[in-house]
A = this chain, B = another copy of it.
Amino acid sequence: MPHPAAGTDASVAAHDLEAVTEAVLNASRALIGVAARSIAESSDDVTLPQYRALFVLSSRGPQTVGSLAESLSVHPSTATRLCDRLVAKKLVLRRSTPENRREVSVSLAARGRRLVDEVTARRREDIKAIVRRMPSESHLPTVDALRAFAAAAGELPDEVELAGLVSPA
């Protein structure tokens, strides 16, 4: 209910805020569906926690087991077992570092990288299919709007940042 031509700047701004929020929320439902599908249809079957780990390694590079655990907000022992399974699936490599032989470095194996790429590619294709259905006049405004949104999200603390599925599920 558009609150017709009313009062102060503040009230107008508030109205905008609600409208934008609602639009983002709706769009995000569709986007989550796309993301979920892209993982579900991946060739190797990985669970969500497993994919999250791969994604962290993909975007932040090799990690110690400890920092991986922290990134995923799980207990170190959980990260150990998670890595066990990913190693068994040949999706990551695990080796103790020469500098500090207590630490164990976990990195993406070729196959793990391929998996993340595949998932991203599928997701990109799905999004593209949707974008193709948009009127082309709205393409450029959409780019601007979403860049502004992503930038605003990026300024926020860790919780939201880098959250390609990284934040706790």
Contacts and interface: CB of A to CB of B under 8 A. Distances in A.
A155 interface: yes
Range for the number of chain A residues in contact with chain B: 35 or more
Nearest to A13: B136
Contacts of A124: 21-22, 25
**Within the oligomer, what is the number of copies of this chain?**
2
Interface string A127-152: 11111111110111111111111111
A31 B28 contact: yes
Contacts of A19: 139, 143
A65 to B, nearest CB: 22
Given A17-B131, A25-B120, 17 more contacts: A20-B134, A20-B143, A21-B127, A24-B142, A24-B146, A28-B28, A28-B123, A29-B162, A33-B153, A33-B159, A33-B163, A48-B48, A130-B160, A134-B148, A135-B148, A141-B141, A142-B149
